[in-house]
A = this chain, B = another copy of it.
Amino acid sequence: MPTVSSEELATAAGVNSAKLRKDFSYLGSYGTRGVGYDVEYLVYQISRELGLTQDWPVVIVGIGNLGAALANYGGFASRGFRVAALIDADPAMAGKPVAGLPVRHTDELEAIISDNGVSIGVIATPAGAAQQVCDRLVAAGVTSILNFAPTVLSVPEGVDVRKVDLSIELQILAFHEQRKAGEDSASAAATASAARSGAGGVRSSASRKGPDGDVPAVMPA
């Protein structure tokens, strides 16, 4: 019976072994002392707990550069996610196949969500359209949203939103990069706090969004 110890797993994942054991303990105790965890059973338990035993239909809204890349990505299927539909507002794209799926027009959004029982939506539209798209998704029954647009979405309670802001990822790297260069005390003190507040750029209510409605140009370049 193939087994792994918490220590091996911890090293591979780059985390503390005690944390890992404690996390596993929440799923019940099925390790064997002196031996470790049965790999097969462990994988099954985690998969089930994480909801990977069922597969989730998702829709991607906004089939531009990013949306198309996501649609073409094969890695989601192996994690239990199935792209149910690609949706875009551009009439010129309607029907055009992307990654083997025909792009559907936004008009059909509600029907698509409903017909496929979709509860997870991905937003890859320009920031200006994100809130509006979000509202329609939620109204149609979506309760989990992965947002790539650089905007803070407001949603009713019960709806989960995760935001992926690639610019901020780079900013965080640049921030630390800057600290490596010049070491002054002020920067050092602010590190922990500032670095963690990664999500959601600070935007003054007095500032304006750019004309294109995309990235709010608050910070000077």
Contacts and interface: CB of A to CB of B under 8 A. Distances in A.
A218 interface: yes
A207 B52 contact: no
A143 to B, nearest CB: 6
A167 B219 contact: no
A44 to B, nearest CB: 8
A169 B177 contact: no
Interface in A51-107: 51-56, 58, 65-66, 68-70, 72-81
Nearest to A52: B219
Given A186-B26, A218-B43, A49 B194 contact: yes
Contacts of A197: 15, 23
> What size tier do the contact residues of chain A reach?
35 or more
Given A23-B197, A26-B190, A51-B177, A76 B13 contact: no
Interface string A148-189: 001010000010101010110111111111101000001101
A28 interface: yes
B120 A174 contact: yes
A32 interface: no
Q: How many copies are assembled?
A: 2
A160 B175 CA distance: 11
A27 interface: yes
A1 B4 CA distance: 63
Interface stretch (A108-116, A132-140, A198-206): A198-206
A15 to B, nearest CB: 7
A39 interface: yes
A73 to B, nearest CB: 6
Contact of A167 (B75, B166, B167): B75
Contacts of A193: 22-23, 26
5 contacts: A65-B68, A70-B166, A78-B210, A79-B215, A144-B173
